[in-house]
A = this chain, B = another copy of it.
Amino acid sequence: MQKITEPTYELPLANVDIHDDFWLAYQQLIRDVVIPYQWAALNDQVEEAEPSHAIENFRIAAGQRDGEFYGMVFQDSDVAKWLEAVGYLLNKQPDAALEQTADEVIELVAAVQQPDGYLNTYFTVKDPAGRWTNLAECHELYCAGHLIEAAVAYYHGTGKRRLLDVACKLADHIDSVFGTAAGQLPGYPGHPEIELALARLYEVTQAPRYLALAGYFVAQRGTRPHFYDEEYARRGFTSYWQTHGPAWMVKDKAYSQAHQPLAEQQVAVGHAVRFVYLMTGVAHLAQLSNDAGQRVICRRLWDNMAQKQLYITGAIGAQSSGEAFSSDYDLPPDTAYNETCASIGLMMFARRMLHLEADRRYADVMERALYNTVLAGMALDGKHFFYVNPLEVQPQSYRHNHIYDHVKPVRQRWFGCACCPPNIARLLASLGQYIYTQTPEALLVNLYIGSEARVELGGQGVTLRQQGDYLHQGEMRLSLAMEAPVSGTLALRLPGWCAAPQVTVNGEAQDVTPARQGYLWLTRCWQPGDEIALTLPMAVRRVKAASPLRHAAGQVALQRGPLVYCLEEADNGRELHNLLLPPEATFSLREGEGVLAGKTLICAPGQRVTPAAPDAALYQFDPAPAARTAQTLTFIPYFAWANRGEGEMRVWVREG
């Protein structure tokens, strides 16, 4: 075991205490509802949910029970994500019972580890001889990556090394198996994750072999002859997944971003989660290795994704088939896949990009994903989840037209493929990590969230406190507490959604025009008690899409602060496509009621195209201009949609 040091750039989660009401409520929900609920689900104790069997698989693999493996080939990762989330929770708040449960799970996991370090319940139970024979399809390295992430989080959260030791032993085993040396497998995973996990493991252990191994996995990807084809031939052309025809994961290499080396890849393609997980690892590697080539790749692929393939809700993955990107500007609102996990991975990618360069292009997207798709992924009760996040729903069509088979008009309990709920849990439990980037030049403030953080500024410890109601009022005060004055730089993100941000330091207005790439760099000798006030006027803003985006042509979306809004049938009646928002409409705000209490709604004087008579002809020749009646349009935050039963929803609204 190498010497363990604190990570660079990464402000430890332990150093950031969130006390913002909005986010505390979510974190409380994670702690009180989601994690216990997910624990029950992992143990098959949730009656109305599809069985998970994930813990049982570990018991069987450990020889503690008889039985058969059940579930997805990557079922182990659900346990790992749960442990990772628990690690974050324990990092912030002791919970002896939870920690004991987790420790028991960790012992169970350790008991499954083979003498050589291998650890995977599917292959151990079902096909011991088949390990490492099907990287394209079977997710062993993916599960290993999640286990490593859990180990890192649990170590940071509890100081306990037990799982970290298991993870290192697993990583060492992987290091011995994979590579281009004689006797090694020149392979790489079908589902990226190990890359970002090894980078994290390197940070916590400082063992260069983990960094090198991550670099190997990235560099080897997409090389010729193609490893997926070679292993496919070696195993006699058998394949695990048959859902889209035999060996489609082997054949459709772009699905796994394995169709060409990353250095040659020009656009975001394939499975969206795979893409952002891979790029999170690559961006982390680029920072840790200071690799200029990898920076260029990251920037190029980020820009294609964010400029041409990103939904206004911070979602990616326009199609259900392959849970994948489509192509530039093909962003259908109704048939979108937009997996919750993909937006979580997008936040991870954005965070790593911020470690490479202070540019709000990353933070703006990170925030867009967080406040819209990621939050939409979970119901306000913490017990129902969206896997798929459309921007338009018409329930009747969804019941009859199979192009919508992947879409659910209301959130579901647990999923057979349960990647999203635990991913939301670990994201929200570790949200403190996304607020700051600690660079040698400056402390970047990426997100405005009421919190107290112990940061380093000019080489000295400083307590930085954020207070205010950013989400609803756009006001935030940042105050510094330290023993002595400190010379250093705070770089404040001026959110892209704000037209005229105002910043004062100790009441003195600052010129924001010198902001570089959306960050206002404030370098000075900071005094204890210095206070920075941000006023971010939070007008309701009309958002329009660039002209190539045909699905938004003639339409407008509303955004206030980071929140994208939508129309719901519950407030506006049916046939939302017949509602029009006049270009000159003025907006008013009102507070939501019932389940929407505390949410800010937007009202606007709109119009409704008068409905056709029930016996009206389907097609009318030269009809008089459709009559319109005045109707107040009520918009709610997108993340809060579908909390009032099934109904129509629409983000892009006709302007006229």
A residues contacting B by CB (< 8 A) are 306-308, 310, 312, 318-322, 325-328, 330, 332, 335, 394, 396-397, 399-403, 405, 496-497, 499, 541-550, 553-554, 557, 559, 575, 577-578, 583, 609-612, 615-623, 625-626, 654, 656
Partner of A401, one of B319, B547, B575, B609: B319
Contact assessment for A499 and B622 in the assembled complex, using a CB-CB cutoff below 8 Å: yes
With both beta carbons as reference points, the residue of chain B lying nearest to A498 in the complex is identified as B621
Q: A310: which B residues are within 8 A, CB to CB?
A: 618
> Would A547 and B403 count as touching, CB distance under 8 A?
no
* Min distance, Cβ A650 to any Cβ of chain B, angstroms: 9
> Main SS of the interface on chain A?
loop
Query: In the assembled complex, how far is the CB of residue A18 from the closest CB belonging to chain B, in whole angstroms?
Result: 28
**Cα of A625 to Cα of B397 in the assembled complex, Å:** 33
Set of chain B residues within 8 Å of A554, measured between Cβ atoms: 554, 654, 656
Q: Note all chain B residues with C-beta closer than 8 A to A403.
A: 319-321, 332, 335, 403
- A651 to B13 Cα, complex, angstroms: 55
Q: Which residues of B contact A497 (CB under 8 A)?
A: 621
Given contacts A312-B619, A330-B394, A542-B621, 4 further A-B contacts (CB under 8 A): A319-B401, A332-B403, A547-B575, A554-B654
What CA separation (Å) do A312 and B621 show in the bound complex? Answer: 11
From B326, B543, B617, A619 is in contact (CB under 8 Å) with B543
Give the residues in chain B near A399, CB-CB below 8 Å: 327
Q: How far is the CA of A326 from the CA of B559 in the complex (A)?
A: 33
Q: What are the 10 closest A-B residue pairs judged by CB atoms, nearest first?
A: A321-B402, A550-B577, A327-B400, A546-B612, A326-B401, A330-B397, A547-B612, A553-B577, A541-B621, A326-B400
Contact B320 A402 (CB under 8 A): yes
Bound state CA distance, A306 and B617, in angstroms?
A: 9
Could you say how many copies of this chain the assembly holds? 2
CA distance A333 to B332 in the complex (A): 13
Q: A609 contacts which chain B residues (CB < 8 A)?
A: 547, 553
Q: How far is the CA of A618 from the CA of B309 in the complex (A)?
A: 9
Inter-chain contacts of A612 with B (CB < 8 A): 546-548
With a 10 A CB-CB cut-off, give which of A325, A397, A625 has the most chain B CB atoms: A397
Which among B541, B546, B547, B618 is the interface contact of A546 at CB below 8 angstroms?
B618
**CB <8 Å contact, B326 and A543:** no
Q: Could you tell me the distance between the alpha carbons of A547 and B559 in the complex, rounded to whole angstroms?
A: 27
A618 CB contacts on chain B under 8 angstroms: 306-308, 310, 545-546, 549
B residues less than 8 Å from A320 (CB atoms): 402-403
Docked pose: A307 CA to B619 CA in angstroms = 9
In whole Å, how far is A136's beta carbon from the nearest beta carbon of chain B?
Answer: 20
Contact B319 A622, beta carbon cutoff 8 Å: no
Give the shortest distance, in Å, between A399 (CB) and chain B (any CB): 7
User: What are 20 A-to-B residue pairs whose CB atoms are below 8 Å?
Assistant: A306-B618, A307-B618, A327-B399, A327-B400, A327-B401, A330-B397, A330-B401, A332-B401, A332-B403, A394-B550, A541-B622, A544-B619, A545-B618, A546-B617, A547-B612, A547-B626, A548-B575, A553-B609, A559-B621, A583-B625
Residues of B within 8 A of A401 (CB): 318-319, 321, 326-327, 330, 332
| Smallest Cβ-Cβ distance to A577: which chain B residue | B550
Query: CA of A308 to CA of B499 in the docked complex: distance in angstroms?
Result: 46
- Known contacts A578-B553, A654-B554, A396 near B547 by CB under 8 Å: no
B620 pairs with A543, CB closer than 8 A: yes
- Taking the closest CB of chain B, its distance from the CB of A550, in whole angstroms, is 4
State the CA gap A405–B625 with chains docked (Å): 37
Q: Are A546 and B620 in contact (CB under 8 A)?
A: yes
Contacts of A402 in B (CB 8 A): 319-322
Contact A654 B553, beta carbon cutoff 8 Å: yes
Q: Are B326 and A397 in contact (CB under 8 A)?
A: yes
Q: Quick check: B543 and A327 within 8 Å, CB to CB? A: no
Q: Which residue on chain B has the smallest CB distance to residue A546?
A: B612
In the assembly, what is the distance between CA of A553 and CA of B575, in Å?
Answer: 10
CA distance A618 to B554 in the complex (A): 15
Q: A553-B577, A618-B307, A619-B312 are in contact. Are A327 and B547 (CB under 8 A)?
A: no
Q: What is the chain B residue whose CB lies nearest that of A621?
A: B541
**B residues within 8 A CB of A616?**
546-547
Q: A320-B403, A400-B326, A401-B326 are in contact. Are A544 and B654 (CB under 8 A)?
A: no
Instruction: Find chain B residues with CB under 8 A from A326 CB.
Output: 397, 400-401
Q: How far is the CA of A604 from the CA of B618 in the complex (A)?
A: 25
Q: Verify B621–A330 contact, CB threshold 8 A.
A: no
Which chain B residues border A328 with CB–CB below 8 Å? 396
